[in-house]
Amino acid sequence: MKKLLLGNAAFARGLYEGGCKFISSYPGTPSTEITEEAAKYDEIYAEWAPNEKVAMEAAIGASIAGARSFCGMKHVGLNVAADPLYTASYSGVNAGMVIAVADDQGMHSSQNEQDSRHHAIASKVPMLEPSDSQECRDFVMEAFELSEKFDAPVIVRTSTRIAHSQSIVDCEDRKELPLKEYTKNPQKYVMMPAYAKPRHVFVEERTQKLIEFAETSSLNRTEINAGTKTGIITSGAAYQYAKEALGDTVSYLKLGMVNPLPVKLIKDFAAKFDEIIVIEELDDVIETHCRKIGVNTRGKDIFGYIGEISQTIIAEKLLGKKNESVSLDENIPVRPPVMCAGCPHRGVFYALSKNKITVSGDIGCYTLGAVAPLNSMDTTICMGASISALHGFNKVRGAEAEKRSVAVIGDSTFMHSGMTGLVNIAYNATNSTVIILDNSITGMTGHQQNPTTGKNLKGDPAAAVNLEELCKAIGIKRVRVVDPYKLEETEKAILEELEAPEASVIISRRPCALLKYVKHNPPLKVENDKCKSCKMCLKLGCPAISIKNGKACIDHTQCVGCGICAELCKFDAIV
Amino acid sequence: MATKSVMIVGVGGQGSLLASRLLGNVILAKGYDVKVSEVHGMSQRGGSVVTYVKYGEKVFSPVIEKGEADVIISFEQLEAARWIPYLKKGGKVITSVQKLDPMPVITGAASYPEDLIEKMRAKGIDVTAVDALSLAEEAGNAKASNVVLMGVVSTKTDFEDEIWQQALEQCVPPKFLDLNKKAFELGKNAAK
């Protein structure tokens, strides 16, 4: 059966066919749809965990219990889950365990461009890298087999272009597997020094066996074209770019397993050609390995370490070819992403911007508060850092900073790793003000449930964390809730809490305007005779409001009638 | 057959994902190899978005680069203009006449260029411009302008109407099917 599937959907198909029984993940672009698609198969139990560390630990537990298990995350999520990963490498698996990590070359939706292969190398865990949707499905199934054969969790690394490209996939039926027997085995599963030392020996021996496997596995394949003088070593999306640019004018060694890398296979391939070029995105992992085993290559001197490679970059750098193209000789204004019309975060950021508050930001849709016209963010580091970094900032700058600074963090991000930062504020006492932007969903990744929403991944009712009670239990006495559509009330709450003599939490509560169950008001209109063209409403950065013929104008297809522009208008021109 | 490259461009939230899925399913039904590359995540929030559709005997790279697109399908004028350098010599543009101000225009830091469609034509580009938004509203929902535009596209391809109709049935939830079929027809008629 042939289907046109997104890389992530093909990945989910591989999990299904490969007999996966348990999934625990945390959403992160471009990995999210693997878990969403897999959750559609009734045979698989799937959940959103509060963060990637919890997800991976849950998947490890399920594997030890005897079920093939999976956890998926984006590249930066693997940093959060690195702790269990490095030890799961030692303890290994019972039933197979597969980890998806989705890198984001080009930073389409991420705060950095790290290369996850380093985690596979450092944790000594095998890593596969598919080049299209068919390979996503095939490699996941192979990864389960490898995991059980070599007693290791196996990482499958994708990238934005693989995860979010659809291509044709040949699908088969699911292989239903019984639970493997669980036998108590502390020497394998209790990683304290006495038991971990022999496991490290095991890990090193396993790596040697994996290298032997890599020499002959069909995951790594050569494509020799007669008469060619250049050999290309490549993997992942870069393989596709190379094939498109260079066709059969070169030969290829396509590596489907990127950790550990083969030795003899590469040496034998290299011996056939005058010149070897490694085409790999981000870091020089394959190239460094080649040098280490005495194979001279070019690579990063041509392609560099930054962003995505493409067929035109390869054609230009290696063949000196450049496509002809036309341009309009016109200054085309950029169109950066913006907070949606009716976004509940807008009111909070307007109040912060107006009062020139220092804002310690976090990861989510609300990071868009950093851009014009709100320009209301000073820092964004990683998930959860808004709260912990604000504490450090305030500790060294003292009372004056405490009265002029806040942290902003979404509900899902707060559950992920913000609450531990709040514990630190309470425990180590800064007079910090934290705003939880509770839009009742994980927004940026496309509406995933989280522990505060009262629903689980399948949409069924679930326990909901009560944020007010949680913050109080942590030791924050001043906790209040505001509606960010009420501009005046929101601003007043922020200013009062900044002045308060102790730490406080403001929960800005209003569901995401894109949620299907949210009822919208009729779109607002500008009464032209009342509009004085003061442009006050434009300060909100609402994509539905613009100036047409000198007067404010509201796009009725976008406006959801949130009313904050009407609150702001001094002339009652917006109705 | 040489690989054909189609770009679907617009503003996040305009429905380019459905448009690309429709086209992808039509191509699959015709038995070609196909890749459809989408953008999810942050850029979807009102930013400039682009989807690449490539088909032929064998497709390798999922992305389309400057000077490679046979067709650009655009939901918005400024976005059509933005991606013109990606058009191959002799390539076609099919665009909605809709204009959406980007944030730099809203804040006054930049202005929306005038007469973009005329300027594209002055460069010798084959441009088909339709009022997809009004037609979608006529069909019953402004959100269906993506399907109106695909109706226009269907008249510029060799793919049979029957295959387009099947793709609509595969990609659109049953309760919106009638509305979308009407939108598709309006698009087809507008192209004539």
One pLDDT digit (tens) per residue for chain A, 575 residues: 889 999 999 999 999 999 999 999 999 999 999 999 999 999 999 999 999 999 999 999 999 999 999 999 999 999 999 999 999 999 999 999 999 999 999 999 999 999 999 999 999 999 999 999 999 999 999 999 999 999 999 999 999 999 999 999 999 999 999 999 999 999 999 999 999 999 999 999 999 999 999 999 999 999 999 999 999 999 999 999 999 999 999 999 999 999 999 999 999 999 999 999 999 999 999 999 999 999 999 999 999 999 999 999 999 999 999 999 988 989 999 999 999 999 999 999 999 999 999 999 999 999 999 999 999 999 999 999 999 999 999 999 999 999 999 999 999 999 999 999 999 999 999 999 999 999 999 999 999 999 999 999 999 999 999 999 999 999 999 999 999 999 999 999 999 999 999 999 999 999 999 999 999 999 999 999 999 999 999 999 999 999 999 999 999 989 999 999 999 999 999 99
Domain boundaries, chain A: 2-216, 220-319, 345-509, 520-575
* B42 contact A CB<8A: yes
Nearest in space to A361 (alpha carbons), one of A311, A431, A418: A418
**Nearest residue of B to residue A133 by CA position?**
B35
Nearest in space to A286 (alpha carbons), one of A308, A259, A315, A250: A259
Nearest in space to A216 (alpha carbons), one of A259, A262, A254: A262
Question: What string of DSSP letters covers B75-101?
Answer: SSHHHHHHTGGGEEEEEEEEEE-----
Nearest-CA distance B29 → chain A (Å): 10
Q: What pLDDT score was predicted for residue B12?
A: 87
* A549 contact B CB<8A: no
* A471/A384 Cα distance (integer angstroms): 15
* B38/A167 Cα distance (integer angstroms): 12
Residues of B in contact with A542 (CB under 8 A): 106
CATH dotted code for A345-509: 3.40.50.970
Q: What pLDDT score was predicted for residue A94?
A: 98
Helix, strand and coil content of chain A, in percent to the nearest 5, comes to: 40, 20, 40
Nearest-CA distance A478 → chain B (Å): 33
Query: Which single residue is written with the structure tokens 């009342």?
Result: A530
Q: Roughly how many angstroms between the first and final C-alpha of chain B, as a whole number?
A: 28
Q: What pLDDT score was predicted for residue B41?
A: 65
CB contact (8 A) between residue A325 and residue B66: yes
Q: Residue A151 phi/psi, 5° resolution?
A: 55, 55
- Out of A108, A325, A333, closest to residue B105 by CB: A333
Which strand ranges, in their side-by-side order, compose the sheet holding A257-259?
A: A45-48, A22-25, A69-74, A97-103, A154-159, A127-128, A257-259
Q: What pLDDT score was predicted for residue B43?
A: 60
Number of Cβ atoms within 10 Å of the Cβ of A431:
19
DSSP code of residue A574: B
Nearest-CA distance B137 → chain A (Å): 10
Q: Which two tokens stand for residue A187?
A: 């020497």
- Out of A164, A241, A330, closest to residue B37 by CB: A164
Which strand ranges, in their side-by-side order, compose the sheet holding A433-438?
A: A358-360, A405-410, A433-438, A504-509, A478-482
* A575/A527 Cα distance (integer angstroms): 7
DSSP code of residue A330: S
Can A220-319 and A345-509 be said to share one CATH topology? yes
Which of B38, B40, B53, B66 is the best residue to mutate to test the A interface, defined by the most A CB atoms within 10 Å of its own CB?
A: B40
Q: Which run of H or of E encompasses A463?
A: none
Nearest in space to B153 (alpha carbons), one of B2, B13, B7, B1: B7
Residue type, A35: T
Nearest in space to A562 (alpha carbons), one of A511, A497, A516, A500: A511
Nearest in space to A76 (alpha carbons), one of A442, A455, A303, A413: A413
Question: What string of DSSP letters covers B18-78?
Answer: HHHHHHHHHHHHTT-EEEEE---GGGGTTSEEEEEEEEES----S---TT-EEEEEESSHH
Q: Are A159 and A109 in contact (CB under 8 A)?
A: no
Q: Which two tokens stand for residue A311?
A: 């067929």
Nearest-CA distance B65 → chain A (Å): 7
> Would you tell me which residues 427-456 of chain A have a C-beta closer than 8 angstroms to some C-beta of chain B?
444-446
Report strand pairing: A165-170 vs A2-6.
Answer: antiparallel
Quote the strand ranges of A272-330, DSSP E. Answer: 275-279
Q: Which run of H or of E encompasses A301?
A: helix A300-303
Confidence band, pLDDT 50/70/90 cuts, at residue B44: low
Largest CA distance in chain B: 49
CB contact (8 A) between residue A109 and residue B40: yes
CB contact (8 A) between residue A546 and residue B105: yes
Q: Which two tokens stand for residue A122?
A: 């450092």
CATH dotted code for B4-129+162-171: 3.40.920.10
- Out of A2, A328, A333, closest to residue B102 by CB: A333
Domain A2-216 has CATH 3.40.50.970: yes
- Out of B28, B67, B113, closest to residue A323 by CB: B67
Q: Are A344 and A439 in contact (CB under 8 A)?
A: yes
* A369/A346 Cα distance (integer angstroms): 8
* A501 contact B CB<8A: no
Task: Give the mean model confidence (pLDDT) for residues B10-37.
Answer: 92
Domain A520-575 has CATH 3.30.70.20: yes
CB contact (8 A) between residue A241 and residue B60: yes
* A1 contact B CB<8A: no
> Would you tell me which residues 242-301 of chain A have a C-beta closer than 8 angstroms to some C-beta of chain B?
243-244
Q: What pLDDT score was predicted for residue B15?
A: 87
Burial of A132 (0-12, 13-18, 19+ CB in 10 A): buried
Question: What string of DSSP letters covers B45-56?
Answer: TTSEEEEEEEEE
Q: Which run of H or of E encompasses B6?
A: strand B4-11
Domain A220-319 has CATH 3.40.190.10: no
Q: Which run of H or of E encompasses A497?
A: helix A487-499
* B165 contact A CB<8A: no
Task: Give the mean model confidence (pLDDT) for residues B16-37.
Answer: 93
Q: Which two tokens stand for residue A5?
A: 């599937």
How many A-B residue pairs are in contact by the CB < 8 A criterion?
192
* A506/A345 Cα distance (integer angstroms): 13
Q: What pLDDT score was predicted for residue B39?
A: 78
C-alpha atoms less than 13 angstroms from C-alpha of A539 in its C-beta half-sphere: 18
- Out of A30, A324, A337, closest to residue B12 by CB: A337
Q: What pLDDT score was predicted for residue A335?
A: 93
